[in-house]
Amino acid sequence: MKEKSLLSSYSLDVEGMKIDVRITKDPRYYVPLYSIRIPGLAEGTRIILDTQIKGELVGEVKVDISELLDVRKSAKVKEQFFTKTSSVLLRHFPNLSQDNLRVLSAYLMQYTLGLGDLEPFLHDEMLEEIVVDGSHQPVWVYHKNYGWCITNVTIKDEKAIQDYAAAIGRRVGRQINLLNPLMDARLVTGDRVNATLFPISTNGNTITIRKFARNPWTPPLFISLNTVSSEVMALLWLSIQNEMSVLVSGGTGSGKTSFLNGLSVLFPPNQRIVSIEDTREIHLPSFLQWVPLSTRLPNPEGKGEVKMLDLMINSLRMRPDRIVVGEVRRQREAEVMFEAMHTGHSVYATVHADNAEQTISRLTNPPIDVPKSMISALDLVVVQYRNRRTGLRRTFEIAEIDDKGNEKVVYRWNPRADKIEKVDEFSELADRISLYTGMSMKEIKADLNEKSKVLNAMVDQNCMGIEEVGKVVAEYYNDRDGLLKMINKGEKFDKIF
């Protein structure tokens, strides 16, 4: 039999507790094995914590769930919990060192205030998805570099899985039980959670957590990963600068929202931005004038629901310069979105479709079914693609929209060369930019070269964070000549930050 081979190893910090992660190619499985281990926590100690000390803490520590959900209060609650936990632990283990005291306290916090066995996965920024398919098999995770991995963690029984789901529900005012066996929820961190109970899910209770990106995607990060070229990103930047509306399409998990987030970093700093989402995923630089709005599900009595349509209509009364819509699914939402475009608003949104042609077809057929005449208000379609076998994500197509609502592909990804290539000229887009700015094609191409230079400079200087990228973009808008002069001299962006 083949031996295990190490693919990667790193450490996580979970409330002060170090957790070792090892990803190996294990001959027992057809996918990588993702293993976690807590150094310094012996099995005997773990049993005492689980069977005795956790029970004492439940009786002695009173935690208000609402305080945990309040970012301003949660740190204080955790600090108070740590103090009380330390006192209880020292009664049982009077000779504990400070390091071991912190490890044991963090472990108890993980199982009392957190999600227990699932908590370490939530702290790993390399994971996109955490899946519990019942107590009969290990937890699965989707790793950014290695795709689906099986883990060395198994939830002990079906009741424990239901308890985790119920704990998540209590935090957001939702219920999951035999009468309500399905639940969609959002953690305070922004992570999306779906849970189902047996017998609806016939193999056992399930939990699916889609993690919210703690470090949002930015244009230079996409370029560095070869998701898109600087040439194409420069064209998108020019379109955004000139208030063109862009629709990002793609299949599930293709990176539509991540790409939309990256495009949003290119907004000018002197404009008002309103984002509308079912689940809060968009994250913009802190210095932008940004109003994030999120839908709300009805309470158990069926009241208090706030729909995407409600927010879209309301956003038009907030004097937005840019409107960012998480995902358009229904006819009325699409009609309001295109009406906003026709009335002069720049709109950026996502929709499910596999290519530019299908995007237009999906928009003009049920269930969205908007008139073809309305599509002409859209300027560009960007299609994202994910290879489900390898996890590779790429920008697949860039298409411009003509006055009749038809698409014309300008760039398309070549899978053999793993490169996005130009397949036609962007004539419609150039005409619209020229109409409103007076720029000639020669001036447009010179502008694209400048923007490519700025983007490549950010890649070269490893300027990838959302705040840093946002400030370079803002500097470009405020002092373009000064920024280009800095780049030409080979100066670092540090002075901007």
Contacts for 492 with CB less than 8 Å, ≥ 6 apart? 461
- Residues belonging to the chain: 497
**Six token digits for residue 337:** 């979105």
Contacts for 482 with CB less than 8 Å, ≥ 6 apart? 475
| Residue with the two structure tokens 């064209």 | 235
Question: Position 27: which residue type?
Answer: P
The interaxial angle of helices 441-460 and 230-241, nearest 10 deg, is 120
Contact of 230 with 153, CB cutoff 8 Å: no
Find the largest Cα–Cα distance for the chain.
78
- Does the pLDDT of residue 392 top 90, yes or no? no
| Residue with the two structure tokens 């398309």 | 412
Residue 148 CA to residue 126 CA, distance in Å, equals: 12
| Residue with the two structure tokens 């006819």 | 331
The percentage of residues in the chain with a pLDDT greater than 90, rounded to a whole number, is: 61
**Six token digits for residue 393:** 């994500």
SS3 of the chain: helix, strand, coil, percent, to 5: 40, 25, 40
- Does the pLDDT of residue 169 top 80, yes or no? yes
Contacts for 422 with CB less than 8 Å, ≥ 6 apart? 231, 410, 411
pLDDT digits (tens, 9 = 90+) for 250-293: 998 898 999 999 999 999 999 999 999 887 788 999 999 999 99
Specify burial of residue 119 (Cβ count, 10 A radius: 0-12, 13-18, 19+): buried
- Does the pLDDT of residue 193 top 70, yes or no? yes
pLDDT of res. 80: 73
- Does the pLDDT of residue 387 top 70, yes or no? yes
Contacts for 132 with CB less than 8 Å, ≥ 6 apart? 118, 139, 155, 161, 164, 205, 206, 207, 208
Backbone conformation region of residue 470, classed left if phi is above 0, alpha if psi is from -120 to 50, else beta: alpha
Nearest Cα neighbor of 266 from 475, 486, 442 is 475
Question: Position 333: which residue type?
Answer: E
Contact of 247 with 349, CB cutoff 8 Å: yes
Taking residues 69-95, report their average pLDDT. 71
Specify burial of residue 413 (Cβ count, 10 A radius: 0-12, 13-18, 19+): buried
pTM: 0.80
**Six token digits for residue 158:** 């079906």
Specify burial of residue 209 (Cβ count, 10 A radius: 0-12, 13-18, 19+): buried
Taking residues 132-158, report their average pLDDT. 93
pLDDT of res. 303: 86
Taking residues 88-99, report their average pLDDT. 75
The percentage of residues in the chain with a pLDDT greater than 70, rounded to a whole number, is: 92
Segments of 419-489 assigned E as strands: 419-422
Taking residues 109-118, report their average pLDDT. 78
Looking at per-residue pLDDT, the higher value among 387 and 71 belongs to: 387
Other Cβ atoms less than 10 A from the Cβ of 446: the count is 12
Contact of 192 with 210, CB cutoff 8 Å: yes
Nearest 10 degrees: Cα torsion 400, 404, 406, 408: -40
Q: Which helix (H) or strand (E) element contains residue 467?
A: helix 466-478
Domains and CATH numbers, the chain: 219-495 (3.40.50.300)
> What letter does residue 212 receive in the DSSP assignment?
P
- Tell me the average pLDDT of the chain: 88
pLDDT of res. 87: 75
